[in-house]
Structure 1
Amino acid sequence: MKFLLAILLTAALAFLAGLYSPWWSIAVIAFLVALLVKQPYGVAFVSGFAGIFLCWGLLAFWIDIKNNHNLSHKIAQIIPLGGSPVLLILVTALVGALVGGFAAASGSSLRQR
């Protein structure tokens, strides 16, 4: 139950922070959620990873749909992704998820001491 709570809390707070803060605020959010919700180190990493992956993945997908896949297709051609908007969305979500996972792991390790 704590795992699901941490994922949803991380995703929701990261979304809200993203409206008013720079992109790196997701790390602060994942760190604070892991600090407040007591979980083992590995579980905290996975919950931070999953929360930010969901948040950034869904946001990137929504933005892609809103502009009719034009921007993502052009950017996917610049980056060696073969012009695939789906791969670009996955790479975007993965980068954010790694930041969130490592920040959550840091918050969890600080709590354990």
Structure 2
Amino acid sequence: MRLFLLIFGLAGLAQFFLPWWIITPVALAAGAALGRTGGRAFLAGFAGIGLGWLLVAGWEQAQNAGRLSHRVAQLIPLGGSGWALVVVTAIIGGLVGGLAALAGCWLRQAVLTPRQAPAAKPDQVLTH
């Protein structure tokens, strides 16, 4: 829950001042800092970014009566449905955030988890 809130808050704040792709380093850093397992990190990143983008895209859709999203939805195979475009936008953002948080969690596990070589059994020791 903390990871979700951190990604949701920091990414939302950062996107006001920086380009859209800032969600990737934010989710990566948060996943590295707080991600305990890969699955939970992915879900927190997906939900944090996906919900943020869903809220913003839905707000924009409602504020301009869907004029812009309708035109964009006509360009891609969505049949001109602005709300379908809002959902697709949230899914794409969620996937980017989820994969970035997962990568951050895996990065922390790779760096901080000591790799141990398998211990050789006494009967398998090679001598010269």
- TM-score (normalised: structure 2): 0.82
What is the Cα-based RMSD across aligned positions, in Å? 0.9
For 2:32 and 2:87, the matched residues in 1 are separated by 27
Q: With CA pairs under 8 Å and 6+ residues apart, which has the higher RCO, 1 or 2?
A: 1
SS of equivalent to 1:68: coil
Cα deviations across residues 60-98 of structure 1 (Å, max 9, x unaligned)?
001111111111111111111011111100111111111
Structure 2: where are the runs of 5+ without partners?
111-128
Mark the structure with the bigger radius of gyration: 2
Change (3 A) 1:38 1:99: closer
Residue-pair matches, total: 110
| Alignment counterpart, residue 79 of structure 1, candidates 53, 76, 86 | 76
Partner of 1:45: 42
Structure with bigger helix share is: 1
- The percentage of aligned residue pairs carrying the same residue is 46
- TM-score (normalised: structure 1): 0.92
After superposing on structure 2, the runs of 4+ consecutive aligned residues of structure 1 that deviate more than 6 Å are none
Contact 2:3 2:35 in 1 (8 A): no
For 2:15 and 2:36, the matched residues in 1 are separated by 25
Partner of 1:91: 88
Structure 1: where are the runs of 5+ without partners?
none
